Amino acid sequence: MLDLSGDSDFKPEIDPVNETSLLVRISHIADKKWPPVLADIAQYFHRELGQYITDIIPAYTTLLICFDDDIIDLTAFFTAAKQSLLNWQTAYTATTHTSTNSEKPIVTVPVFYDATVAPDLLNVAVNCQLKLHELIQIHSQTIYTVYAIGFAPGFAFMGDVDQRICVPRLATPRKAVPSGSVGIADRQTGIYPTTSPGGWNIIGRSPKTLFFPNADADKLCSLKIGDQVKFSSITKAQFLALGGREI
Amino acid sequence: MASLKIIRPGPLSLIQDKGRTNHQHLGLAQGGAADGYAFFWVNYLLDNNPNAATIEITLGPFGVQFNDDTVIAIAGAEMNCTLNDKVISNWQTHRIQTGDILTFNRASEGLRTYLGVRGGLQTTELFASRSMVLREKFPGFHGAALQKEIDLQFPQLTTLTTSTTWINRSVPWRYLPDYQNELTLQIIPSYQFSDFDQAARDLIESSRYTISSQSDRMGYRLSGSAIEWQRGDIVSEGIAYGSVQIPPNGQPIVLLNDRQTIGGYPKIGCVTRQDCYQLAQRRPGQTVRFKFASA
C-alpha cells in the first residue's frame, strides 16, 4: 500500500453535495497512485456504514457516497462519514506499506491490433511519427491503472498512456464504435464494453468480454477501480479463436 | 398472477420504480421515476411498498385493458383519464374490474403521469430494479419502451372489505402541485461552487432559463445567459442527482435519473430533490429560475 504520511498531494476532504450524497476528495491532482486508495476507502465505508449506503462512485481522486435518508439524516451520516474517513486514515497510515501496484494481480486483455478492426490505428501511428509495430509495442508494454468506470456500463478509463502515443479525442465522435474496441484519448485508454457512440481513437479490438449484464452483482464487470491492466497483442487467428468478430 | 394489457403505448411509457442502488460504480445509471413526488403518492395511496413498480406515462395518450380485478392509483400530469369512457379523478385510487379499459389522453399540463396497481407491477428486474433505462440498450424487456399487446403482471387482488383503506382514497388538495407556474429551482451550492466567480453566481440567480427540447430523463438542458467557467475541464467525478452542470457553452444542464455516472464538466451545485421532481413535470418552452439555498 501507498505511504501517505509524507505525501503532500494527499489532502482528504469530505463535503455534502446534495441531500443524499457526500463527496470525498483525496487529492486535487490525478495520479495512478490514488485509485487503489479510493478502492480501499470504498471498501472501508461499505464495511462501516454499508447499511446506510446506496451507491459509492469512485473516480480518479474522489468518491461520491450516496446514502438512504429514509434511515439516516444528512447531519448524522455526514458526522459518521467524517469519523469513518479519519478512522480509515489512521488504520491505513499505521500499516507498513509497499507499492500498491506490485500487490495487485495484472489483468491481461488480448488485443488484435489491425486496421481491419481499428479505423484509427494507421492515423495514430502517422500522427505520432511511429512505425505500426512501435505503436503497438508502446501501447501494450505499459501496465495501466483503472481510474474510473463510467460513461457507459463497464467502460473502464485506464491510464497513463505513454506520452509518445497520446492523441486527443476525435473532433467528431462516431455514432457506433463496435464492442471490444480499444481506444486512446489523451492519456487514457479504454475498451468499449458494448457498441456505443464514441470519440476515442480506435487502435485495436479485444475478443474479451468485460461486462456481463446477466451475471450476479459482483460479477457484472471484470474490471474495478485500481485494477492493473496490460494489453497483449494477438494474431488474427487467435482473435477469431477467442470469439473475436471482424465486423 | 393478474395482468393488464397495453392497448395504446403512447410516445414513451416505461416501467419505473425508485431506481437502482449499488450499481453506479459500474457505469449503470440510477434510473427510477422522474417525478418521485407523484410516484410516491401512487404507492402511498395503495399502501404499496414505496418501491413498487409503476408505469411512467410520458405526455400521453396511453391506454390499457385489465385482464383481472385490481385497484389502481394515478398521479402526476392531468391526462383526463377515463375508465370505460367515464372520466375519473387524478391523484386518487380507483376500483378496477376485469375487462375495464383505462384511457389517458394527452397531458393538458405537466408531462408525466404514474399508473400504479395494488401490490405493484411484477415485471422482470435488471440490476435488482424494475426501472427501465433505455439509453443503456440492454436487449430484451428493458431495451425498449412499452409496446402494444404487452401484458404486465401484478398480484391477484385480495378480498376487499369495508375497512380497506385504499379504495377511493385521494391526495388532499393542499398537496397537489401546480405544473404551470414558473419553477424556481433551489440549488444546494456544492462541487465547484466556490470556484465560480461572484458574477457567475449572480447571473444564474438573476436569469430566466427556457427548457429546451433536448431535455429528457438524462437531464434538462436550459437556454439562457451563459455561465462562465474559465478553468477548463475538471477531473471526472461522480455526478449526484440534480447536479447543475456548466458545459463549455455555458448553458446549464440539470442532470436527472438517467444521467451518466461520472463526468468532467464543472457543476455549480445540485438542485434539491423535490425541485427535480417538479422540473420533471415541466415541458420544453416553459421557463425556470435558480436560487441558491442558504446553508
- Verify whether the Cβ–Cβ distance A151 to B136 is below 8 Å: no
Residue B187 pLDDT greater than 80, yes or no: yes
Residue linked to cell 400530469: B77
- Verify whether the Cβ–Cβ distance A19 to B23 is below 8 Å: no
- Verify whether the Cβ–Cβ distance A148 to B262 is below 8 Å: yes
| pLDDT at residue B261, rounded to an integer | 97
- Verify whether the Cβ–Cβ distance A17 to B136 is below 8 Å: no
Say which of A64, A154, A213 has its CB closest to residue B238. Answer: A64
- Verify whether the Cβ–Cβ distance A150 to B242 is below 8 Å: no
pLDDT band at B232 (very low <50, low <70, confident <90, very high): confident
| pLDDT at residue B95, rounded to an integer | 94
Cα B41 to Cα B175: distance, rounded to the nearest angstrom: 10
Least confident range of A15-24, B37-46, B166-175:
B166-175
Q: Searching chain B, which residue's CA lies closest to the CA of residue A28?
A: B235
The mean pLDDT value for B76-102 works out to 97
What grid cell was written down for A116? Answer: 481491419
Strand partners, B87: B82
| pLDDT at residue B29, rounded to an integer | 97
Question: What does DSSP say about strands A228-233 and A106-111: parallel, antiparallel, or unpaired?
Answer: parallel
The mean pLDDT value for B97-111 works out to 97
Question: What does DSSP say about strands A62-67 and A201-205: parallel, antiparallel, or unpaired?
Answer: unpaired
Q: What is the ipTM of this complex?
A: 0.95
| pLDDT at residue A97, rounded to an integer | 55
The mean pLDDT value for A95-103 works out to 57
Q: Is B182 left (phi over 0), alpha (psi -120 to 50) or beta?
A: beta
Judged by a CB distance cut-off of 8 A, whether residue B242 touches chain A is yes
What is the value of pTM for the model shown? 0.94
Percent residues over pLDDT 70 in chain A:
95
Residue linked to cell 449526484: B240
Residue B168 pLDDT greater than 90, yes or no: no
Residues of B112-142 as b/e, b for ≥16 C-beta within 10 angstroms? bbbbbbbbbbbbeebbebbbbbbebebeeeb
Percent residues over pLDDT 70 in chain B:
99
User: Which residues from B are below 8 Å from A55, CB to CB?
Assistant: 21-25, 30
The mean pLDDT value for B205-220 works out to 97
pLDDT band at A103 (very low <50, low <70, confident <90, very high): low
Least confident range of A206-210, B24-28, B33-37, B62-66:
A206-210
- Verify whether the Cβ–Cβ distance B236 to A59 is below 8 Å: yes
pLDDT, tens digit, 9 for 90 and up, residues A106-156: 999 999 999 999 999 999 999 999 999 999 999 999 999 999 999 889 999
| pLDDT at residue B163, rounded to an integer | 67
Tell me the nearest-neighbour CA distance from B68 into chain A, angstroms.
Answer: 32
Residue in A34, A57, A70, A77 to test binding to B, most B beta-carbons within 10 Å:
A57
Residue A96 pLDDT greater than 80, yes or no: no
- Verify whether the Cβ–Cβ distance B22 to A225 is below 8 Å: no
Residue A99 pLDDT greater than 60, yes or no: no
- Verify whether the Cβ–Cβ distance A55 to B30 is below 8 Å: yes
* CB–CB contacts below 8 A, A to B: 115
Contact assessment for residue B214 and residue B251, using Cβ atoms and an 8 Å cutoff: no
- Verify whether the Cβ–Cβ distance B25 to A62 is below 8 Å: no
pLDDT band at B114 (very low <50, low <70, confident <90, very high): very high
Tell me the nearest-neighbour CA distance from A234 into chain B, angstroms.
Answer: 27
Residue A35 pLDDT greater than 80, yes or no: yes
3-state class (DSSP) for residue A144:
strand
Q: Searching chain B, which residue's CA lies closest to the CA of residue A17?
A: B190
Q: Is A188 left (phi over 0), alpha (psi -120 to 50) or beta?
A: beta
Judged by a CB distance cut-off of 8 A, whether residue A148 touches chain B is yes
- Verify whether the Cβ–Cβ distance A157 to B126 is below 8 Å: no
Of residues A110, A139, A112, A111, the one with CA closest to residue A125:
A139
Tell me the nearest-neighbour CA distance from B25 into chain A, angstroms.
Answer: 5
Mean pLDDT across chain A: 92
The mean pLDDT value for B260-272 works out to 96
Tell me the nearest-neighbour CA distance from A233 into chain B, angstroms.
Answer: 26
Of residues B113, B108, B103, B100, the one with CA closest to residue B62:
B103
Helices (H) and strands (E) in chain A, counts: 6, 13
Judged by a CB distance cut-off of 8 A, whether residue B193 touches chain A is no
Q: Is B224 left (phi over 0), alpha (psi -120 to 50) or beta?
A: left
